[in-house]
Amino acid sequence: MSLFSKGERYVKNSLFRRLFLVITAALLITALILTGVMVILVRGERQSALENELRLQARDFAQLMRQSDSIIIWRDASLISGNIRDKLSELRNDYGADVWLLRQNGMLMSFGENTASVSTLSDQEAVAQIYRVLEGSEITVRGLFSQLGDSVVTIGVPWTDWSGQVQGAVLLHVSVHQMIADYSDILRYSGIGSLVAMVFGVALSYAIARRQSGPVKEIQQVVADFAGGNLASRARVHGHDDMAQLAQSINAMAEDLSKLEESRRSFVANVSHELRSPLTCIQGYCQGMLDGTILQSEHDKYLEIVLSESQRLTKLVNTLLDLSKYESGQRPLNKTAFDVNNLLLTVLFKFEQRIENKGIDVNIDFTDPQCFVRADADQITQVATNLVDNAVKFTPEGGKLTIHTHSAGKQAVVTVQDTGIGISAEDLPYIFDRFYKADKAHTSGMGTGLGLSIVKKILEQHGQDITCSSGPSGTSFTFTLEKAPSPEEARPAEPTQDRPPRE
C-alpha cells in the first residue's frame, strides 16, 4: 500500500470519526441540557403546586372553623366536630402537618395526635408576622417559631366568621422535607426519553457523518488523480449544498487545467513547427551550397531565401518574447494623449502597396475628424498593425476594408472590418489563443498565430477589451480606448484683460 493510500485512508477515517463524535457529543449535550431544563421547570411547577395545595388545605380548615362553634372548641377541645378531626388526621397523615389555632386575644391552641392544648402566644418575634394574618393576609414563612426550628415552614391564613370578621388565624406547620415535591418520576421518564433520543441520535450521527465524509473522500480521490496526471477525472455532484459547490469548483478547475494542458501541448507543437520550418529551409540551402548541389551562379538567389527565413525566424522569436513580456506585465505603459484617427491613417500607409496589389477598396469612416485617446501610442500602433494586417491578408481581391471610429461616453471605439470569408462559429471563441489559426490551410510563412494574442494582451493591460464578430460577409474587430480631451479642451482658459472704456 502506497503512502498516499495510507494518507487517504487516514483522512477518510479521521474525518468520519471527527464528524461522528462531534455530532454525537452535540446531541448528548443537547439532550442533557433539555432534560435538566425540563426537570427544573417541572420541579418548580410541582413545588409551587404543592405550596398552593397546602395553602388550600389551610383555607379548608379555616372554612371548617367558621362552620363550627368556636366558643365550644376553646372551652373543651374534645368537643370538636368530626369534620375537623378528620381534617386534622388528613393533614397529619398526608402532609405531616401540625395545626395551630390563634385567636385575636393571643390564645393559641395546638392539636396533637389525640389531644389539644391551649396556651398563650409568647414568641414576640412571630407577633409581627401573625399580626398580618389577623388583619386578613396570608403568609408563608420558614422558621417563624423558634421552638419549632428553622426546618419548619408555617402557612398562615385568616379564620373569619360568617360576617367576614377575622376571628383568628389557622397556622399550618409543615417540615421543609415535606414541602419538597417528588419529581423522581420526571427523572425516570426523562432518562428513558433521553436514552431513546440518543439511540436515534447516534444512528443519525452515523448517517450524517458518512454522508459528509463520502463526498470529501471522492473529491480527495479526484485531486489525487490530478496530482497523478489524470485530468479526465471528475467529482460527482450531489444536490446543491456546500459539498456540491466544492465538487463543481473542482470540476471547473479540472476543465481549466485540461484546457491549459491542451494549450501547452499545442503551444509546444506550434512553436516547434514554426521554428523547425525556417531552420530546415536554412539548413537545406546551406548544405546544398556547401556540397555543390546548388550551383555557384545560384548562390545569391538562395542566400536571399536564407536571409528571408532568418528574418522570419527572428521575427517569430521577437514576437514570442513580446508576448511573454505582455503576459508577465514586464512591458510598462507609457500613456500619452494622441489622435487615434491619425495613428490609424499612418498604419494604413504601411499597407498601401499590398492594398493596391489586391485592389482593396478602403473606407475611412471617422465620426469626428479627431478622436483623442490616452494610451501607449507604440503599443496601440502594434494593435492596429496586427488587425489591419489580418484584414488585408483575408480580404479577397476587389474586397473592401473599413476603419471606423466613434465616441461612446468616456471611451473611444475603433472598428476594423473586412469582407473576407469570415471565421466559423467553432473557431471564433479561440481566435485570441496563442498559435491558433482559424484558417487551417495556412502553411508555414503565412503567420504565426500570435498577432491576435498580442492584441488581446495589450488591450487588457490598458484595461480595455476587444470583441470579434464574423459571418459570411466578413469579419469585424472592435476595441475600446480611454478618451482624452483634445489639446484645445485641455488648454486652460486665458484670463480676459480689462479694456479701458471707449471715449
How confident is the model at residue 496, as a pLDDT?
Answer: 45
Query: Which residue type does 323 have?
Result: L
- What is d(CA 433, CA 442) in angstroms, rounded to the nearest whole number? 16
Q: Which residue has the cell 484595461?
A: 463
CB 138 within 8 A of CB 156: yes
Q: Which residue has the cell 528571408?
A: 308
The pairing of beta strand 411-418 with beta strand 166-175? unpaired
- pLDDT tier for residue 411 given thresholds of 50, 70 and 90: very high
Per-domain residue ranges for the chain? 3-179, 234-331, 335-487
Distances (CA, A) of 194 to 36, 191, 197, 205, 455: 11, 5, 5, 15, 71
CB 457 within 8 A of CB 328: no
Q: How does 238-259 read in b/e, with b if 16+ C-beta sit within 10 Å?
A: eeeeebeeebeebbeebeeeee
Give percent of the chain with pLDDT exceeding 70: 76
CB atoms within 10 A of CB 4: 11
CB 394 within 8 A of CB 470: no
- What is d(CA 343, CA 416) in angstroms, rounded to the nearest whole number? 13
- pLDDT tier for residue 85 given thresholds of 50, 70 and 90: confident
Residue 267 three-state SS: helix
- pLDDT tier for residue 308 given thresholds of 50, 70 and 90: confident
Look over the chain and give the mean of its residue pLDDT values, rounded to a whole number: 77
- pLDDT tier for residue 280 given thresholds of 50, 70 and 90: confident
**CA proximity to 447, closest of 312, 354, 353:** 312
How confident is the model at residue 239, as a pLDDT?
Answer: 64
- Say which CATH class 234-331 falls into: mainly alpha
Q: What is the CATH number of domain 3-179?
A: 3.30.450.20
| Three-state helix/strand/coil letters over 326-391 | HHHCCCCCCEEEEEHHHHHHHHHHHCHHHHHHHCCEEEEEECCCCCEEEEEHHHHHHHHHHHHHHH
Q: Read off the C-alpha cell for 358.
A: 489586391
Give percent of the chain with pLDDT exceeding 90: 15
- pLDDT tier for residue 238 given thresholds of 50, 70 and 90: low
- What is d(CA 428, CA 418) in angstroms, rounded to the nearest whole number? 16
Angle, CA of 356, 340 and 472, to the nearest 5°: 50
What secondary structure letter does DSSP report for 483? Answer: B
- pLDDT tier for residue 493 given thresholds of 50, 70 and 90: very low
CB 47 within 8 A of CB 181: yes
**Partners of residue 23 on adjacent β-strands:** none
- What is d(CA 30, CA 36) in angstroms, rounded to the nearest whole number? 10
Mean pLDDT, residues 419-438: 77
- What is d(CA 379, CA 196) in angstroms, rounded to the nearest whole number? 76
Tens digit of each residue's pLDDT (9 = 90 or more) over 40-60: 777 777 777 778 888 888 888
Tens digit of each residue's pLDDT (9 = 90 or more) over 58-68: 888 888 887 77
For 21, what's the count of Cα atoms within 13 Å in the CB-facing half-sphere? 6
How confident is the model at residue 374, as a pLDDT?
Answer: 94
Residue 291 three-state SS: coil
- pLDDT tier for residue 503 given thresholds of 50, 70 and 90: very low
**Partners of residue 477 on adjacent β-strands:** 416, 468
Tens digit of each residue's pLDDT (9 = 90 or more) over 91-145: 888 888 888 888 877 777 777 666 677 777 777 777 878 888 888 888 888 888 8
Q: Indicate the CATH number of 335-487 among 3.30.565.10, 3.40.50.2020, 3.65.10.10, 1.10.3470.10.
A: 3.30.565.10
- What is d(CA 363, CA 115) in angstroms, rounded to the nearest whole number? 131
CB atoms within 10 A of CB 295: 11
How confident is the model at residue 498, as a pLDDT?
Answer: 46
Q: Read off the C-alpha cell for 26.
A: 452535540
DSSP string, 435-469: T--S-TT--TTS--S-HHHHHHHHHHHTT--EEEE
- What is d(CA 305, CA 310) in angstroms, rounded to the nearest whole number? 8
Strands of 15-124, DSSP E: 98-103, 107-111, 116-120
Tens digit of each residue's pLDDT (9 = 90 or more) over 352-391: 999 999 999 999 999 999 999 999 998 899 899 889 988 9
Q: How does 46-59 read in b/e, with b if 16+ C-beta sit within 10 Å?
A: eeeebbeebbebbb
Hey, what's the torsion of the CAs at 459, 460, 464, 466, to 10 degrees? 60
CB atoms within 10 A of CB 13: 12
Q: Read off the C-alpha cell for 235.
A: 467529482
